[in-house]
């Protein structure tokens, strides 16, 4: 089985060099969880901070886990988040293809090269995948490790099924360096001869990763700290091929609480879920960036960052070894800051569809309702519940008319509504100024505080104790006819 060395030389010649190259390499399983989004963000930030190249690669070697349409979820999420990739399946690039299943031939060739170099071997033992995964494989018992190359190749040519395994040195130790965790040394005898090429000819995740990272010129490999234990095996593969080892950046996990990692199985929210709950993409990204990284120097106290500011500020030295706890309250705080900072027009656009979920009547102005919400809303998904009273007056109890602070009770409220109804019937135009002017002048005439008049008007107009906006704004949006209808109903309740 002579190998065509020219093929490997040509592959080497294609590798881009000279600048930082990072990759985000998700499996298309249809779900972008928070940890995954953070990996994508950090990978993008490292590239952008260095003026480098950000690559999207789709890792679909585990065909059993693939989900229909999942690759589109990845494209859509990255695009929404502004994490633009310079190379990838949809945009092409100098080291295409960027989908692992389309690179299948490449892995087989490199595995055979590794066998020739003595760092891998053909294994003909019957092993189930579950035995492989449980690590229940003791290489000292593997008779195939001792086969001569000629013997093994003869069996391959005779059509015997096989896997290709990594040949881990029996003695000594392997040291690898991580940008966050520093030097880590592992004794070789604790590592297993992992499978590189499966019986069906598909590569394992661990092997495909190393080959692709090298051939795509990846300089910084960002992944979760759960891969720290595999890193020595990756190092030995790089060394076996005589390649330069990239900079490893292992991110500490994102936790639901002190004990548990976030996971889809436990119903922890994905990026899509957070969007549905009314969190803004910018707020999600800002919060996720700070789960495991903190700014230093002049900006150490800064909390709110745009994507551009993050790209400028991001450095590996600011990353933490400690697990980060995902706190929905903290994310809500960020979201509120972002909502308040929007222009009224942008907020009205973002809130519009949520308002219309509850307020179907097009005669009621969504932008006027939005103006009441901006300072009183933490998540867009809270909106329908807050504004449903505009569409329909809810059932409410006359007890709401009693309020100590406003000095109202049923008798006082009845008197206030009896005075307010004819005045509101008469005001010349239904503008906020006229409604406000009419009500404050009436309170003065009745010799009561403004609140004593406004409270019963607002309760009768909205039918609930807590509302976005006060009596004047609510009446204005409802219109004269509906306001008077509701105030008369309130008066009936009190009579």
Q: Which residues are catalytic?
A: 264
Helix or strand (DSSP H, E) at 458 = helix 450-462
DSSP track, 166-235: E---SSSEEEEEETTTEEEEEEGGGS---EEE-TTSPBPHHHHHHHHHHHTT--EEEEEGGGGGGHHHHH
Q: In 3-state terms, what secondary structure has residue 376?
A: helix
Q: How many Cα neighbours within 13 Å face the side chain of 114?
A: 28
How far is C-alpha 140 from the chain's CA centre? 44
How far is C-alpha 324 from the chain's CA centre? 14
Q: In 3-state terms, what secondary structure has residue 21?
A: strand
Residue found under tokens 């109202």? 408
Residue among 455, 39, 33 nearest 256 (CA): 33
Pairing state of beta strands 182-187 and 195-197?
unpaired
Burial class of residue 469, CB neighbours in 10 A (0-12, 13-18, 19+): buried
Nearest-5° Cα angle at 265, 259 to 268: 65
Residue 166 to residues 68, 192, 206, 240, 320: CA-CA distances in angstroms? 33, 8, 11, 10, 32
Strand residues in 228-290 grouped as ranges (E): 247-251, 254-255
Residue burial 223-260, b: 16+ Cβ < 10 Å; e: rest: bbbebbeebbbbbbbbebbebebbbbbbbbbbbbeeee
């Amino acid at each position: 089985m002579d190998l065509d060395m020219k093929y490997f030389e040509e592959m080497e010649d294609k590798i881009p060099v000279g600048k930082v190259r990072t990759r985000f390499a998700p499996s298309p399983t249809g779900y972008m969880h928070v940890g995954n989004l953070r990996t994508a963000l950090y990978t993008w930030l490292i590239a952008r901070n260095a003026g480098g190249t950000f690559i999207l690669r789709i890792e679909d070697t585990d065909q059993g886990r693939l989900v229909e349409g999942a690759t589109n979820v990845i494209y859509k999420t990255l695009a929404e988040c502004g994490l633009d990739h310079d190379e990838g399946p949809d945009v092409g690039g100098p080291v295409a293809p960027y989908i692992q299943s389309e690179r299948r031939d490449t892995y087989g060739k490199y595995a055979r090269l590794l066998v020739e170099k003595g760092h891998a071997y053909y294994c003909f033992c019957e092993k189930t995948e579950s035995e492989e995964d449980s690590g229940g494989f003791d290489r000292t018992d593997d008779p195939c490790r001792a086969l001569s190359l000629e013997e093994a190749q003869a069996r391959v040519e005779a059509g015997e099924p096989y896997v290709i395994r990594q040949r881990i040195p029996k003695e000594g130790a392997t040291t690898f360096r991580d940008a966050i965790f520093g030097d880590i040394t592992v004794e070789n005898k604790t590592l297993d001869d992992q499978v590189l090429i499966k019986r069906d000819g598909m590569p394992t995740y661990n092997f495909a990763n190393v080959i692709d990272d090298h051939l795509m010129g990846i300089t910084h490999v960002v992944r979760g700290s759960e891969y720290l234990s595999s890193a020595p095996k990756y190092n030995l593969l790089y060394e076996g091929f005589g390649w330069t080892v990239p900079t490893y950046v292992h991110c500490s996990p994102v936790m639901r609480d002190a004990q548990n990692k976030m996971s889809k199985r436990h119903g922890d929210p994905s990026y899509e879920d957070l969007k549905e709950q009314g969190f803004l993409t910018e707020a999600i990204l800002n919060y996720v960036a700070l789960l495991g990284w903190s700014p230093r120097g002049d900006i150490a106290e800064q909390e709110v960052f745009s994507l551009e500011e993050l790209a400028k500020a991001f450095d590996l030295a600011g990353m933490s070894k400690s697990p980060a706890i995902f706190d929905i309250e903290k994310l809500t705080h960020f979201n509120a800051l972002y909502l308040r900072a929007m222009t009224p027009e942008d907020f009205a656009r973002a809130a519009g569809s949520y308002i219309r979920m509850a307020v179907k009547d097009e005669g009621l102005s969504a932008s006027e309702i939005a103006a009441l919400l901006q300072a009183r809303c933490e998540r867009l998904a809270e909106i329908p519940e807050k504004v449903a009273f505009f569409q329909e007056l809810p059932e409410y109890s006359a007890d709401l008319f009693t309020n100590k602070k406003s000095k109202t009770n049923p008798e006082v409220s009845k008197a206030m509504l009896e005075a307010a109804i004819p005045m509101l019937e008469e005001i010349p135009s239904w503008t906020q100024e006229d409604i406000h002017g009419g009500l404050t002048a009436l309170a003065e005439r009745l010799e009561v505080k403004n609140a004593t008049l406004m409270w019963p008007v607002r309760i009768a107009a909205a039918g609930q104790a807590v509302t976005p906006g006060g009596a004047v704004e609510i009446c204005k949006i409802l219109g004269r006819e509906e306001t008077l209808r509701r105030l008369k109903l309130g008066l009936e309740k009190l009579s």
